[in-house]
Copies of this chain bind each other. A is one copy, B any other.
Amino acid sequence: MKISAVLKMLKEGKITEREAEKAVSENFYADIGCAKVDLDRLRRTGAEEVIFGEGKTPEQIIKIAKVLVEKFGAAMATRVPKGAFEAIKGAFPDALYSDAARIVTIDRRAPKARKPGRRAKKTFIAVVCAGTADLPVAQEAAETARFLGSSVRLFADCGVAGLHRLLDNLDQIRKAKVVVAVAGMEGALPSVLGGLLKAPVIAVPTSVGYGASFGGITALLSMLNSCANGVSVVNIDNGFGAGYNAHIINSI
């Protein structure tokens, strides 16, 4: 029930004050016990709540997804193991799964509602990826931004150990409105890109590496200390966050 309808019913004495209060709050979030699904987030931040799958049971994911699909016609869950997807598919037969990105999407929106206008625009996000092992994180970023409505181009294996592979693709990357740079190990890619580009660079450190890479800490620190300008950083392996950030900048 919309807030105006609730208030009208209250005024007409059809519901009590307590019932009205509860009905109003249901416009803002749905309390389903294990979660209070944020229904107001789209209005406040420009994007619906996305389900962070890690640490949630398939049952919890399904319960939250049901609320979102009912409200918005679509839902996305990140960091979903393959096994959990099987359970989710039982509840949503039209759910899709990206093996690489470990993302589940359910999308029942009319094609028009999928923001075709924006897609039609010439602007796109470039996701530049240092090594083959960094690809899953890069794909999480790309899938996220696409689900939210942006166009994305992915450039794989452009690490600085073979600089010509990056320079060879530079003309294409330069055309992007915003760039996501994904790298593990020493995480030097965003610094090199930052020195070559006008677009803002969102750096994603990955946990790829061993020994003193400390599960991505080295790449994270490296990116935070970039000698190049225009680089900002998200958490280790946080492809989702980078894709989200890139999308809201691409949407400006």
Which A residues are closer than 8 A to B by beta carbons?
25, 28-29, 33-36, 38, 40-41, 44-47, 49-50, 52, 54-56, 60, 64, 79, 130-133, 135, 156-165, 168, 177, 185-188, 191-192, 194-200, 202, 205, 207-238, 241-242, 244-245, 248-249, 252
Q: Can you list 15 contacts pairing A with B, beta carbon distance less than 8 Å?
A: A28-B168, A36-B156, A44-B197, A45-B197, A49-B162, A56-B133, A160-B191, A161-B195, A186-B187, A186-B225, A186-B226, A188-B192, A198-B248, A218-B224, A224-B235
- With contacts A165-B38, A188-B191 taken as known, whether A237 is within 8 angstroms of B225 at the C-beta atoms is no
Give the residues in chain B near A234, CB-CB below 8 Å.
224, 231-233
Residues of B near A177 (CB, < 8 A) are: 252
What residues of B have a CB within 8 angstroms of the CB of A46 in the complex?
198
- CA distance in complex: A227, B236 (Å): 14
Task: Report whether B198 and A211 are in contact in the complex, using a CB–CB cutoff of 8 Å.
Answer: no
In the complex, which residue of chain B has the Cβ closest to the Cβ of A192? B160
Q: Are A163 and B135 in contact (CB under 8 A)?
A: no
Question: CA–CA, A238 to B168, complex, Å?
Answer: 30
| B residues less than 8 Å from A217 (CB atoms) | 212, 221
CB pair A218 B212 closer than 8 Å: no
Identify the 3 closest CB pairs spanning chains A and B, nearest first. A211-B236, A55-B133, A188-B188
Instruction: Name A240's closest neighbour in chain B (CB-CB).
Output: B229
- Distance between Cα atoms of A238 and B64 in the complex (Å): 27
Given A211-B207, A225-B209 in contact, is the A200-B35 Cβ separation under 8 Å? no
Given A224-B235, A234-B224, are A163 and B186 neighbors across the interface (CB < 8 Å)? no
Which residues of B lie under 8 Å from residue A185 when comparing CB positions?
A: 225-227
* A228-B132 in contact (CB<8A): no
Complex CA gap A21/B241 in Å reads 36
